[in-house]
Amino acid sequence: MKNKKPSNKKFVIILTCLVTLGTIYGVFKYMHAQAHEETDDAQIEQNMSPIIPRIAGYISDVKVKDNDFVKKGDTLLVIDNSDFIVKVEEAKAALVAAENTLEVSRADVGAAAANISITDATIQSNSGSIDAAKIRLERATNDFERYSNLYKNHSITKQQFEQALAAKQEAEKQVEILQQQRNANIHQREAVASKTNVASKQTGVASANIKRAKAVLEAAQLNLSYTVITAATDGQVSSVKVQPGQMIQPGQSLFYIVNSKDTWIVANFKETQLDKMVVGQKVGIKVDAYPGTKFEGEVSSFSPATGAKFSILPPDNATGNFVKTIQRLPVKIKLTANNDVEKVKLLRPGMNVEVDVHVK
């Protein structure tokens, strides 16, 4: 019995220490939880620009390899441009033809306008001739009437009477001929004016054809420029799985350029953790890949909806078998300027991190 007392005393001491340590740890975790919100559901994010061709064609040259660093404007891929050069030349020829057609149409309009001027002058001349012929007719008619009275009185011979009659008839015929000529010229002018209207419309069509040909040429030149695919930003190339001779299609994602200049973190917090979180709060960051390095950040923004709502098949809770589950809301955390620049450069999209938001 005497041997059991020391054992009991040791047990009590150990139990007391364990309870004390547990209480201290519990109090510490409680106090920490009042001022912090943590989650390990977080990843590094960076801008990833997909390389997508605008035209279809066969690759003639690949200028980059896996994980190469590139600058904005560097050539990444070259597509065989033979067909596109032919399209440009064809568009140039169509433009020249349209311009020549416009010149011909303008010449036709000018010639028609000149014919109208000539016809107008002829009509005016005919009008003057008709007026003169009517004067002669009036004089011949007066002479005929006078000679007719004299002939009835036997004051003149029959030959003189017939001469006066012939002069009158000749004057009437002259007026009739001149009027017919004038009417013919008027009809001719109307025909020329109609041709001028048609030529003017043809000029408008030719002008429209020139605009269309210019648009086709610009499109062909654009497509030709798209045969050289360049980097839209500075960054590092992902795995390049395209080879010369491979056929690519518009909209096909070939590979990515990761821009490491802008790095942030997306942390998915439970909706029950958001009560005290606001924009601007400091954040402690631990990256799994670099456990010995601590990073600093701050809350930048909150997602407008939970992650589930952005899924391809968002959950529909309007069913009879509803089970309430805690949702997570993506929170964007940006790195502050206090971090080691060289360490930040080591971060890669998709790396797991743990974040600790200082809510107080």
Q: What is the pLDDT of residues 20-66, one digit of tens each?
A: 888 877 776 666 667 788 999 999 999 999 999 999 999 999 999 99
What residue segments make up the domains of the chain, in order of their start? 38-80+237-358, 82-225
Look at residue 87 in the predicted model and tell me its pLDDT: 94
Q: pLDDT exceeding 70 applies to what percent of the chain? A: 82
Q: DSSP letters of 189-229?
A: HHHHHHHHHHHHHHHHHHHHHHHHHHHHHHHHHHHHHTTEE
Can you give the pLDDT at residue 195? 66
Q: Span 82-225: which CATH code?
A: 1.10.287.620
Question: Which fold does the domain 38-80+237-358 belong to in CATH?
Answer: Elongation Factor Tu (Ef-tu); domain 3 (2.40.30)
For residue 109, which of 194, 187, 207, 211 has the smallest C-alpha distance? 194
Are residues 214 and 99 in contact, defined by beta-carbon separation less than 8 angstroms?
A: no
Q: Is residue 187 pLDDT above 60, yes or no?
A: yes
Q: What is the pLDDT of residue 316?
A: 74
Closest residue by Cα to residue 353 from 47, 40, 38: 40
**For 290-343, what is each residue's pLDDT tens digit?**
988 999 999 999 999 998 888 888 877 776 677 788 899 999 999 998 898 889
What pLDDT is stored for residue 208 in this prediction? 84
Over residues 242-270, mean pLDDT:
93
Mean pLDDT value across the chain: 83
Rg (the chain; Cα; Å): 50
CA distance 284 to 36: 10
Q: Residue 69 phi/psi, 5° resolution?
A: -90, 135
- Structural tokens at position 218: 């610009």
The total of other beta-carbon atoms located within 10 Å of residue 285's CB is 22
Phi and psi at 177, nearest 5°, equal: -65, -45
pLDDT digits 0-9 by tens, 266-296 = 999 999 999 989 999 999 999 999 988 999 9
With a CB cutoff of 8 Å and minimum separation 6, the contacts of 53 are 77, 79, 226, 229, 248, 249, 250, 251, 252, 254
Task: Give 198's pLDDT tier (boundaries 50, 70, 90).
Answer: low
pLDDT digits (tens, 9 = 90+) for 168-182: 777 777 777 777 777
3-state secondary structure of 129: helix
Q: Is it the case that residue 121 has pLDDT exceeding 70?
A: no
The span from the CA of 166 to the CA of 52, in Å, is 97
Q: Which tokens go with 227?
A: 């045969």
Output the DSSP codes for 299-331. Answer: EEEE-SS-GGGGSSS-----SSS------EEEE
Tell which residue, 105, 106, 62, 24, has the closest CA to residue 248. Answer: 62
Kindly report whether the global pTM for this prediction surpasses the value 0.75: no
Give the pLDDT band of residue 126 (cuts 50, 70, 90): low
Amino acid 5: pLDDT? 55
Q: Is the pLDDT of residue 216 over 90?
A: yes
**Is 80 exceeded by the pLDDT of residue 127?**
no
